[in-house]
């Protein structure tokens, strides 16, 4: 079939600067005239070295407006001279699977339609993210180029008559403006599952699960349902009752698809009954994970990373590749640093955002990395990977033949415990949140604060360092400034403040608090009790309540 494209006049729309991971806005914003078209045209022009002859992957988390956006992107790719698009069946593909497919088929990148852990539906959020040919989120120099295009755009190209049926797997070749344009619709799950089977020892995981272990996985009505069913039930033989909320829904069934103790409360309650040995939840697009043990024993993402770092070589992939190093985002606790030190490995500290790990992986500097925001992954792809993390944990448990709780407690016995908590203050008034950050910036800019002592309860902490974190990428020397306020005390305890980069409206303040203990008598204490003095100091120094009017956080992890 032959088609022709047309150019449509448009003008720049304010506020299309990608955040921590893509452009996340309310669906209503995306539905404004030319909003999606402008951003997609800017991705094609700013994200790809050369559009002509390129191949792109398209997939998303199934949220409201995702399918329409996928069809629109196909029409725009056709008009702009892209040679081929590889599209997920029904446009449904998890973020890690898109990364896997970009790498497997050596494409020029991909467009992921997701607002990740943000709620979905007509009154909630949508998002578009561009990943580059290494399979990872576009780095800042690329997102800057995309943003620049959004500020100068005056037309977009589209082939409006090209209608593709996303429900039919297979390949179709069209002629658009005399050029060939191929649309290949692929199974959403197969490539990813095949890869997992190369990375992990599936027969041994199957044995482990068949030895009476009960697992419970919550896909939160996001994209992960089909992956979890295929891997956990079909491949590893767990009963169907082991997986819940497995049908991807446009509004996630009204859930907030963020796997933490607050938003995955149903899973926590079920695990608390003590009938399951292992529990896990995923976010909307499947890159985040939460790990729970029997009786809802919670593994902090920072501890999860450290435990996996300790046992990494029990996973066949790492037996083959060797362990090349570790990394964590700056606010993530230093538990993994202790493992790195013992194992004589390098541990990198990067700003928040998975995109910062990509260069290190491409340069062969790191095998395993993670973030406190429930992200764990390795250099097998260039996105964090929820199901990979679950399979990695099951591999460790099978290898050690112990419970989740025992495994974490053994870890504390070996390394001491990095107590950790994060307070989220969601939907703050932007002006007030900025005022608080200005206040903190002034604080860290004032050298006389170094050496100051703060006391709360029976503890006293002395400020050793105070700054706004700045990162120089060791591979390309690019510099990323203002990545979070840090107060580091003489005993290594830390208080960190930053504004979320993934919200779609208002401001979310994140306050991270970390303190280390190596007295075994304290290992089992409640982090909220152990960290109380530091939390009080953080609230006092930041003037959070005074400047924002907020007395308590909306989420505590
Ligand atoms: C995204 C990034 C993560 C990052 C997180 C931080 O997560 O992919 O690498 O840690 O944002 O979020 P915030 O800026 O809100 O603290 P996701 O799962 O939303 O893609």
Is 116 designated active site? yes
Atom 17 of ligand 1: nearest residue by CA position: 116
Domain co-membership, 495 together with 395: no
Sheet of 215-218, strands arranged across: 243-244, 215-218, 278-282, 289-293, 297-299
Atom 4 of ligand 1: nearest residue by CA position: 353
Q: Nearest to residue 378, comparing CAs of 135, 72, 80? A: 135
Number of H helices and E strands in the chain, helices first, is 19, 28
Q: CATH number for the domain including 63? A: 3.40.120.10
Q: 364, 382, 415 — which closes off a domain?
A: 415
Distance 139 CA to ligand 1 centre (A): 14
501 Cβ inside 6 Å of ligand 1: yes
Domain co-membership, 439 together with 467: yes
Q: Is the pLDDT of residue 505 over 80?
A: no
Q: How many domains does the chain have?
A: 3
Distance 399 CA to ligand 1 centre (A): 31
Domain co-membership, 339 together with 450: no
* Tokens, residue 104: 């497997």
Rounded CA Rg of the chain: 23
Domain co-membership, 20 together with 115: yes
> Tens digits of per-residue pLDDT, 189-222?
999 999 999 999 999 999 999 999 999 999 999 9
In this predicted model, which residue has the larger pLDDT, 288 or 505? 288
Distance 353 CA to ligand 1 centre (A): 6
Contacts of 15 (CB under 8 A, 6+ apart): 25
Per-residue pLDDT band at 544 (split at 50, 70, 90): very high
Domain co-membership, 166 together with 20: yes
At residue 380, the pLDDT reads 98
Sign of the torsion formed by the C-alpha atoms of 548, 551, 554 and 556: positive
Contacts of 296 (CB under 8 A, 6+ apart): 268, 269, 271, 272, 279
Q: CATH number for the domain including 507? A: 3.30.310.50
Q: Best of 20, 252, 385 to mutate for ligand 1, by most ligand atoms within 8 A of CB?
A: 20
510 Cβ inside 6 Å of ligand 1: yes
422 Cβ inside 6 Å of ligand 1: no
Q: Is the pLDDT of residue 340 over 90?
A: yes
Containing structural domain, residue 479: 417-556
Atom 3 of ligand 1: nearest residue by CA position: 353
Q: Of the residues 99, 116, 302, 493, which is catalytic? A: 116
Ligand 1, closest atom to CA 288?
A: 18
Domain co-membership, 82 together with 47: yes
Domain co-membership, 255 together with 237: yes
Domain co-membership, 401 together with 359: yes
Provide the mean pLDDT of the chain.
96
Ligand 1, closest atom to CA 116?
A: 19
Atom 19 of ligand 1: nearest residue by CA position: 116
Distance 373 CA to ligand 1 centre (A): 7
Q: 384, 415, 446 — which closes off a domain?
A: 415
Atom 10 of ligand 1: nearest residue by CA position: 353
Per-residue pLDDT band at 503 (split at 50, 70, 90): confident
Q: What's the Cα-to-Cα distance from 309 to each of 328, 346, 402, rounded to whole Å?
A: 11, 12, 17
Name the one residue in this structure whose structure tokens are 């196909």.
74
Q: 168, 186, 204 — which closes off a domain?
A: 186
Distance 127 CA to ligand 1 centre (A): 13
Distance 20 CA to ligand 1 centre (A): 6
Q: Is the pLDDT of residue 1 over 90?
A: no
Q: Is the pLDDT of residue 455 over 80?
A: yes
Region 180-192 average pLDDT: 97
**Contact, 284 vs 120, CB < 8 A?**
yes
Task: Characterize the bridge pairing of strands 215-218 and 278-282.
Answer: parallel
> Tens digits of per-residue pLDDT, 225-243?
999 999 999 999 999 999 9
374 Cβ inside 6 Å of ligand 1: no
Domain co-membership, 447 together with 457: yes
């Amino acid at each position: 079939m032959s088609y022709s494209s047309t150019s449509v006049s448009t003008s720049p729309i304010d506020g299309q600067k990608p955040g921590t991971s893509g452009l996340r806005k309310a669906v209503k914003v995306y539905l404004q005239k030319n909003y999606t078209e402008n951003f997609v045209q800017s991705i094609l022009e700013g994200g790809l070295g050369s559009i002509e002859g390129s191949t792109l992957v398209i997939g998303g988390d199934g949220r409201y407006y995702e399918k329409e956006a996928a069809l629109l992107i196909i029409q725009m790719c056709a008009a702009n001279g892209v040679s081929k698009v590889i599209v997920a069946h029904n446009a449904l593909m998890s973020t890690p699977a898109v990364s896997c497919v970009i790498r497997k088929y050596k494409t020029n990148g991909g467009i992921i339609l997701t607002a990740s852990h943000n709620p979905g539906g007509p009154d909630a959020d949508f998002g578009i993210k561009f990943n580059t040919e290494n399979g990872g989120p576009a780095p800042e120099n690329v997102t800057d180029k995309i943003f620049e295009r959004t500020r100068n755009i005056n037309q977009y190209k589209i082939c409006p008559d090209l209608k593709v049926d996303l429900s039919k797997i297979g390949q179709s070749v069209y002629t658009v403006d005399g050029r060939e344009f191929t649309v290949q619709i692929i199974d959403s799950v197969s490539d990813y599952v095949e890869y997992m089977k190369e990375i992990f020892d599936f027969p041994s995981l199957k044995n482990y699960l068949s030895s009476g272990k009960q697992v419970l996985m919550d896909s939160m009505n996001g994209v992960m349902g089909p992956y979890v069913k295929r891997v956990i039930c079909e491949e590893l033989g767990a009963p169907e009752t082991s997986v819940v909320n497995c049908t991807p829904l446009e509004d996630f069934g009204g859930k907030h698809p963020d796997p933490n103790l607050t938003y995955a409360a149903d899973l926590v309650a079920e695990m608390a009954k003590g009938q399951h040995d292992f529990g896990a939840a995923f976010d909307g697009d499947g890159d985040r994970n939460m790990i729970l043990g029997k009786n809802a024993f919670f593994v902090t993402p920072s501890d999860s990373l450290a435990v996996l770092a300790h046992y990494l070589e029990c996973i066949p992939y790492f037996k083959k590749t060797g362990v090349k190093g570790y990394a964590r985002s700056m606010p993530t606790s230093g538990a993994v640093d202790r493992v790195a030190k013992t194992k004589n490995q390098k541990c990198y500290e990067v700003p928040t955002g998975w995109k910062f790990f990509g260069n290190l992986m491409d340069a062969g500097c790191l095998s395993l990395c993670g973030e406190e925001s429930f992200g764990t992954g390795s250099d097998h792809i260039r996105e964090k990977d929820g199901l990979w993390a679950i399979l990695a944990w099951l591999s460790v448990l099978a290898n050690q033949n112990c419970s989740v709780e025992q495994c974490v407690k053994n870890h504390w016995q070996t390394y001491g415990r990095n107590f950790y908590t994060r307070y989220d203050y969601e939907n703050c008034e932007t002006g007030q949140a900025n005022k608080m950050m200005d206040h903190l910036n002034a604080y860290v800019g004032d050298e006389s604060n170094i050496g100051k002592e703060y006391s709360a309860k029976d503890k006293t902490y002395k400020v050793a360092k105070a700054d706004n974190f700045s990162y120089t990428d060791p591979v390309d020397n690019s510099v990323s400034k203002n990545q979070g306020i840090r107060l580091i005390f003489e005993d290594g305890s830390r208080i960190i403040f930053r504004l979320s980069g993934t919200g779609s409206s208002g401001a979310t303040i994140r306050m991270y608090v970390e303190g280390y203990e190596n007295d075994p008598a304290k290992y089992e204490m409640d982090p909220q009790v152990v960290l109380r003095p530091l939390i009080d100091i953080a609230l006092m120094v930041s003037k959070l309540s005074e400047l924002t009017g907020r007395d308590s956080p909306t989420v505590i992890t």
